Each structure stands twice: as C-alpha cells, then as structure tokens.
Homo-oligomer: A and B are copies of this chain.
Amino acid sequence: MSTATKRMNKSDLKLIAVLERTGGFASAQELHQILRREGDGIGLTTVYRALQSLVDDKIVDLLRREDGEAIYRLCGDNHHHHLVCKSCGDTVEIEGGAIEKWAKTMAEEFGFREVGHTAEIFGICSKC
C-alpha cells in the first residue's frame, strides 16, 4: 500500500505553524505580516501559493470576511458547516445532519452522483 504522503514544503509547514499558534482566522496579508515580523523573509506570493495548496488539500478552510477578503484557518477533519456573524466575524461550527440528508435526497432525485455540497448560515450574533 502507498504511504499517501502529502507533499508539503517548508512554506506550507510555516503557514500551518502560524495558523496553529494564532488559532483563529487570518487573511493572507495578515499571515504574511506575522511571518515577516518574526524575521521570516517569506514572500507574499509564496504565502498565497501555500495557502492555496493547503486549501486544495483540505488542510485549511477558506471563508470570507464581510468585505470579501479571504480568511483562512486550520480545519478539523470532520465535515462541518459554519454559522458566521456578519458583524464581528465570530464563527460557530455546526453539524449539518439535515443538510447532508437534503443534499443526498435532492441529488438522487435528479440523478446526480459524486455529490458534495456547501452551506453557510450568516446573521448577527447575540453579542453584536
């Protein structure tokens, strides 16, 4: 059997490290600044590239701030959805049992296979 090893280069690991350390969401620009501040001369291009590949590999989640800027964070392995506050950006991870079922049902009804889905809920949280 194959080892299924992810090719992961230094930059990928650096980004993961920062995301682990900061523990929440951060934009590419912010992550770049953090690394710079720590003396790492990594280029902005590389930061974008690393994040892109981490997203592709489903190692980080990509969401959007209200102004459209992309924000990233490490994602747990289990599939979940988000409840996002439009005002402060606070996010709650929620289970989506109902959606899973809905998606599957709908897809079957129309003869689709290899089905996936996306779903987000947004609103204003109690604090705001």
In the complex, are the beta carbons of B102 and A96 less than 8 A apart? yes
Which of A10-18, A34-42, A45-53, A63-71 lies at the interface? A63-71
Given that A68-B64, A68-B70, A99-B98 are contacting pairs, would A113 and B124 also be in contact in the complex, using a CB cutoff of 8 Å?
Answer: yes
Q: Which residues of B contact A92 (CB under 8 A)?
A: 110
A122 to B110, CA, bound (A): 11
Nearest CB to that of A113 among chain B residues?
B124
Q: Does A115 contact B (CB under 8 A)?
A: yes
Residues of chain A whose beta carbon lies under 8 Å from any beta carbon of chain B: 64, 68-70, 83, 85-86, 92, 94, 96, 98-99, 101-103, 106-107, 110-126
Pick 27 A–B contacts, CB within 8 A, sort by A: A64-B68, A83-B110, A85-B112, A92-B110, A94-B106, A94-B110, A96-B102, A98-B98, A98-B99, A98-B101, A99-B102, A99-B119, A102-B102, A106-B121, A107-B121, A107-B123, A111-B126, A112-B121, A112-B123, A112-B125, A114-B124, A115-B121, A115-B122, A116-B121, A117-B119, A118-B120, A118-B122
